[in-house]
A = this chain, B = another copy of it.
Amino acid sequence: MDVANHQFQLAARPVGLPKATDWQYAENLVPEPGDDEVLVKILYISLDPAMRGWMNDGRSYIAPVGIGEVMRALAAGQVIASNHPALAVGDHVTGLLGVQEYAIANGNAVMKVDPQLAPLPVYLGTLGMPGMTAYFGLLDIGRPSEGDTVVVSCAAGAVGGVAGQIAKLKGCRVVGIAGGAEKCRYVVEELGFDAGIDYKGEDVGAALREHCPGGIDVYFDNVGGEILDAVLANLARNARVVICGAISQYNAIDGMRGPSNYMSLLVNHASMTGFVVSDYGARYAEGGREMAEWLAAGKLKSREDIAEGFDTFPDTLLRLFKGENTGKLVLKL
Contact A271 B272 (CB under 8 A): yes
A244 beta carbon closer than 8 Å to chain B: yes
Contact B269 A260 (CB under 8 A): no
Distance in angstroms between the alpha carbons of A316 and B117 in the assembled complex: 72
Beyond A258-B258, A258-B260, A259-B259, whether A272 also contacts B279 by CB under 8 A is no
A266 beta carbon closer than 8 Å to chain B: yes
For chain A, the count of residues having a C-beta within 8 Å of the partner chain is: 33
Looking at chain A's contact residues, is the secondary structure mostly helix, strand, loop, or mixed?
A: loop
Considering residues A243, A244, A245, A279, which has the most beta carbons from chain B within 10 angstroms of its beta carbon? A243
Distance in angstroms between the alpha carbons of A229 and B255 in the assembled complex: 13
Query: Please, which residues of chain B bring their CB within 8 A of the CB of A60?
Result: 267
Question: Interface digits, A186-205 against B, CB 8 Å rule (1 contact, 0 not)?
Answer: 00000000000000000000
A4 beta carbon closer than 8 Å to chain B: no
Contact A273 B275 (CB under 8 A): no
Contact A260 B266 (CB under 8 A): no
Least CB distance from A138 to B in Å reads 15
Question: Interface digits, A228-241 against B, CB 8 Å rule (1 contact, 0 not)?
Answer: 01000000000000
A257 beta carbon closer than 8 Å to chain B: yes
Closest B residue to A233 using CB positions: B59
Give 6 new A-B contacts, CB below 8 A, not counting A268-B274, A272-B272. A244-B266, A257-B258, A259-B262, A269-B274, A269-B276, A271-B274
Shortest Cβ-Cβ A-B pairs, 6 listed: A258-B258, A266-B274, A265-B274, A271-B273, A258-B260, A258-B259
